[in-house]
Structure 1
Amino acid sequence: MARYLTELVAAAGEALGDDLVGVYAAGSVALGAYQPGRSDVDVALLCARPLPAGRKRELAARLRHEALPCPARGLELVVYRRDVARSGTPEPGFEVELNTGARMPPRVTWSGDERAAADGRFWYGLDRSILHAGGLALLGPPAGEAFADLTTADLRRLLVDALTWWLALPTPPGDEPAAGTEDAVLGACRALVRCRDGGWLPKVAAGRRLVGQGHPAAGLIERAIAARRGGRPPGGAAARAFQRAVRDDITRCYDPFDI
């Protein structure tokens, strides 16, 4: 993975030149929770000014899997202007987004304004919040300086939006094991821990924290954690009920940063 990230930084520099002012590993790589065969590689680039269309196309061409093979399931790359990253905006605000990989549907979006509401516009503000807290700088200043955090109100709103989006996805009826429900449960755990405790944790670590705190859904959370290691995932109905409960908790939870 280290070699791939080094090559990615070099390829991005060749495409963007002096406009490239920062490269940051995010997600599971930055949080020390990367799981080979399961995790994506999440990377954020910072540029000094708005990118012209030609540079966007060149960057996407150099970093797509066919040109720079990604050793993970896929690469999720987002480019932000430096001033957008420092603004704390909850809006997508990106210059270009690239999803590419051997086991990931390819997609390129050329600006944040093109991101459809149905696909979720909450991802980017939350990702920048995670970068602010624990991004790994591969080039440029520390992530805590390069990325501003969200306000408490924006954070809570985006987390509620995220849970609402997940709840709208089709899930098999009943409580038979359903693929992907473990991620839905553990993602909700991470959101709840962020609101309650004020810090971002990897999904499994957030689930374990809630279990250790005696959460009423500890059994469901433990099943979701076990599913990440190959166990049977939780059923769809149970996962949805947990997500709804977490969404309700976040909507009304007391946040120490409010005072």
Structure 2
Amino acid sequence: MDTDVRRYLDDLVAVARTVLGENLVGAYAAGSVGLDAYQSGRSDIDVALLCADPVPEAAKRALVAGLRHEALPCPARGLELVTYRRAVAASGTPEPGFEVELNTGARMPFRATYAPTDRPVADGHFWYALDRSILHQHGYPLLGSPAAEVFADVSPADLRRLLVDALTWWLALPTPPGDEPAAGAEDAVLGACRSLVRFRYGRWLAKTDAGLRLVAEGDEATPVIERSIAARLGGAPPSGPQARAFQQRVLDEIRAG
């Protein structure tokens, strides 16, 4: 793990301990760190905190104040932190179920959400259960029991619905027309690769690794996938229509079951 990231995660857990005290029973790196795919200058740092009991409002706000970028500078693009009760993490629920959510960083819009009902539906409610599914397989423990013991996976039916919701959300975003490279199109393609690999084979892979698996299988979209992988290293991304066509194909396969 990157030294700066390791130091930051240690400091983050220390702040969380100070704010939450004995209520804090676990802390886990998720996302690219958990999947051993962190890319300096590009990746976010994703963290899930686990509490034994509901977090009081004052403690939620103190946690946000202590962990926001202005108080604890994040060495990545930003921090995406979600706090769950232990019972929610163990339930396998498809619902958001979080106590408090924080997005903060030098290159990330600030967001603090103190209850799932405050999260706009248009922003997507599928993220959380999918993230907990990734944590179940790949959570990196910073504090507490192994992630697989505390984060239950969602059911196959819920997984399918959540993946459909996620791809539908992505496809609803504005997409530049024409054949010119579109910023962010590579993430759309590789995110769809990861969803497809999870749906077909039951395992979460890092986005690039998922793309490489589909390329190795001779997927018909190999040129678009390879271009998306190259874009993560500075190459030109695919066009918006290319990304959308691949996402739609993945959505159709998952929706058909």
Give the TM-score, by structure 2 length: 0.98
**Which SS does the other structure have where 1:196 is aligned?**
helix
Deviations 1:58-101 (A, max 9, x none): 00000011111100000000000000000000000000000000
Alignment pair present for 1:141 and 2:139: no
**Which SS does the other structure have where 1:86 is aligned?**
helix
How far the C-alpha of 1:116 sits from its partner, in A, is 1.4
Contact 1:99 1:107 in 2 (8 A): yes
How far the C-alpha of 1:143 sits from its partner, in A, is 0.2
* 1:5 counterpart residue number: 9
* 2:136 counterpart residue number: 132
1:222 to 221, 226, 239: 226
* 1:70 counterpart residue number: 74
How far the C-alpha of 1:174 sits from its partner, in A, is 1.6
**Which SS does the other structure have where 2:91 is aligned?**
coil
Alignment pair present for 1:93 and 2:110: no
Structure 1: unaligned runs, 5 residues or longer: 254-259
Q: Distance in 1 between matches of 2:119 and 2:217?
A: 38
1:111 to 93, 110, 115: 115
1:43 to 47, 60, 80: 47
Q: Distance in 2 between matches of 1:92 and 1:252?
A: 25
Contact 1:92 1:113 in 2 (8 A): no
Alignment pair present for 1:58 and 2:36: no
Q: Distance in 2 between matches of 1:164 and 1:177?
A: 22
Alignment pair present for 1:242 and 2:249: no
* 2:30 counterpart residue number: 26
Q: How does 1:145-184 map to 2 (within 5 A)?
A: 145-184=149-188
Partner amino acid for 1:23?
A
How far the C-alpha of 1:162 sits from its partner, in A, is 0.4
Identity, % of aligned pairs?
70
Structure 2: unaligned runs, 5 residues or longer: none
Q: Distance in 2 between matches of 1:56 and 1:137?
A: 22
Deviations 1:184-215 (A, max 9, x none): 00000000000111100000000000000010
Q: Distance in 2 between matches of 1:242 and 1:2?
A: 36
- The list of structure 1 runs, each at least 4 consecutive aligned residues, that deviate by more than 3 angstroms after superposition, is none
Partner amino acid for 2:172?
A
Q: Distance in 1 between matches of 2:250 and 2:204?
A: 16
Q: Distance in 2 between matches of 1:58 and 1:9?
A: 14
Deviations 1:24-46 (A, max 9, x none): 00000011100000000000000
Alignment pair present for 1:195 and 2:193: no
Q: Distance in 2 between matches of 1:174 and 1:84?
A: 44
How far the C-alpha of 1:117 sits from its partner, in A, is 1.1
How far the C-alpha of 1:243 sits from its partner, in A, is 0.3
**Which SS does the other structure have where 2:174 is aligned?**
coil
Q: Distance in 2 between matches of 1:202 and 1:127?
A: 13
RMSD across aligned C-alpha pairs, in angstroms? 0.6
**Which SS does the other structure have where 2:175 is aligned?**
coil
Partner amino acid for 1:24?
Y
Q: Distance in 2 between matches of 1:219 and 1:171?
A: 20
Partner amino acid for 2:190?
L
Partner amino acid for 2:69?
H
**Which SS does the other structure have where 1:177 is aligned?**
coil
Q: Distance in 2 between matches of 1:72 and 1:89?
A: 30
How far the C-alpha of 1:175 sits from its partner, in A, is 2.1
* 1:257 counterpart residue number: none
